[in-house]
Amino acid sequence: MISNQERVDSGHGYLPQTIPGRSPNQELLPLTAKVNSRDCLEIGGCDVTTLVERFGSPLYVLDEVTLRTACKQYREAFARYYPGVALPIYASKAWSCLAVCSIIASEGFGFDVVSGGELYTTLQAGVRGDLIYCHGNNKSTAELELAIRAADPFGRAHGCKIIVDNWLELEMLTKLADELSSKPIPIMLRLTPGIECHTHEYIRTGHLDSKFGFDPDGIKEVFAFVLRQAHLDCIGLHAHIGSQIFERQPHEDLAGVMVEWMKQAVDSGLNMRELNLGGGLGIRYTEADDPPSIDEWVKTVSTATIEACNRLGMPLPKLIVEPGRSLIGSACVTAYTVGFRKVVPGIRTYISVDGGMSDNPRPITYQSVYGAAIANRMSAPMAVERVTVAGKHCESGDIVIKNALLPETEQGDILVVMATGAYNYSMASNYNRISRPAAILVHEGEANLIIQRETYQDLIRQDCLPTRLIAKLF
């Protein structure tokens, strides 16, 4: 039963609000979302139901305006609050593909990559190596070499910045630097600052149980080692404390302790000049979520850095942040087609869609909650029934949304799940040999394919069938 309070007259409550100062991460739908004269959801000037007819289902629909607006808001906020040099870099793990990297690069961002694959994609998108920061707690020699050489498709070779995670990597890099590079390799040191964030709470501890980064207690030794290496240029410190964070206090505290460690480094003789405070700003997945705006978040990290530098008599470092989710999360929706319905009397009604945990593993992995709308009947009364939206995978836990309040749905309806831009495509799989969906970039009525839908042939492209097995089939 649905209470009167839960029942709403129109399904438009989740359309973006035109309130000044709000940022994309505070919206459920992309900024260009509206209802058109056919009562269908339109994003980037494109009717989502028409996109599904044209490009198939399920479909990721990415709105260029929303993505660019989030980039611009980061840039403008730094210009407003930070008098030193600032560089926002995109945590490409959120969604790495050529078109996304190229849009974000054109907005003046640098890039955070964590693997040879992310590095390769970013370089192929035309990003210069010296704008790329390479992460990873277990980088291979091949990945380090790729980062040091970092040639882009135009033949320019600008080595990447390498964010060193541990002692063994530091030693390995020292050897590689001696062999491979005529000039010192720029590195940063990743620290585990003892600030831990869960979505709605955080703790400060002396030691964190984390696989990432150096323990700050032993950092003096690291500084002394790096100082002795002629082929390493240690330009700064890095820390990342968590993701989908709604509080601002943890990053305020982080800036303070990081500047203190930078001062120790400078006092020990290192020429440190960059401070990277990681990513983490949360987004709105449901109406209950209330993250700070991009402007508020940037103001917090900028002010805290400036205050700590003033207190400790340090010059302002080049300030770097690494947003992923808050740049791209709210810019995308996933459109599915509704299939069969199953009613378990007195317990639950299931409606099934044509995707699920393979295109969005977040609900099954983190119990993440999403909102949905029916794109082909936008003015249908919203909370008419409570249904569980199930995926099509052979796994009971493959639930896209548990107990969603939706209009009445029927087979063939287009169900749109909101805020699926971050960590959906990037964590997608082929479980049950289900093809990964296509992705479409929409902008001012134009729809461009940016990722092709996988075909059945794509699914077997890496399979090898030894001839002796073929022989036994016949």
Residue numbers annotated as active site: 394
Q: Which of 240, 251, 392, 443 binds ligand LLP (CB under 6 A)?
A: 240
Between 146 and 239, CB nearer to ligand LLP: 239
Residue 284 in the binding site for ligand LLP (CB under 6 A): no
Residue 317 in the binding site for ligand LLP (CB under 6 A): no
Query: To the nearest whole angstrom, how small is the minimum distance from the Cβ of residue 362 to ligand LLP?
Result: 5
Residue 251 in the binding site for ligand LLP (CB under 6 A): no
Q: Which of 326, 330, 337, 388 binds ligand LLP (CB under 6 A)?
A: 326
Q: Which of 213, 323, 355, 407 binds ligand LLP (CB under 6 A)?
A: 323
Q: Which of 11, 324, 355, 356 binds ligand LLP (CB under 6 A)?
A: 324
Residue 226 in the binding site for ligand LLP (CB under 6 A): no
Query: To the nearest whole angstrom, how small is the minimum distance from the Cβ of residue 265 to ligand LLP?
Result: 20
Find the binding residues for ligand LLP in span 391-430 (CB under 6 A): 422-423
Find the binding residues for ligand LLP in span 362-381 (CB under 6 A): 362, 366
Residue 280 in the binding site for ligand LLP (CB under 6 A): yes
The values of phi and psi at residue 219, to 5°, are -75, -25
Q: Which of 40, 94, 103, 390 binds ligand LLP (CB under 6 A)?
A: 94
Span near ligand LLP by CB under 6 A; candidates 193-201, 275-283, 378-386, 403-411:
275-283
| Footprint of ligand LLP (CB under 6 A) | 91, 93-94, 112, 135, 240, 243-244, 278-281, 322-326, 362, 366, 422-423
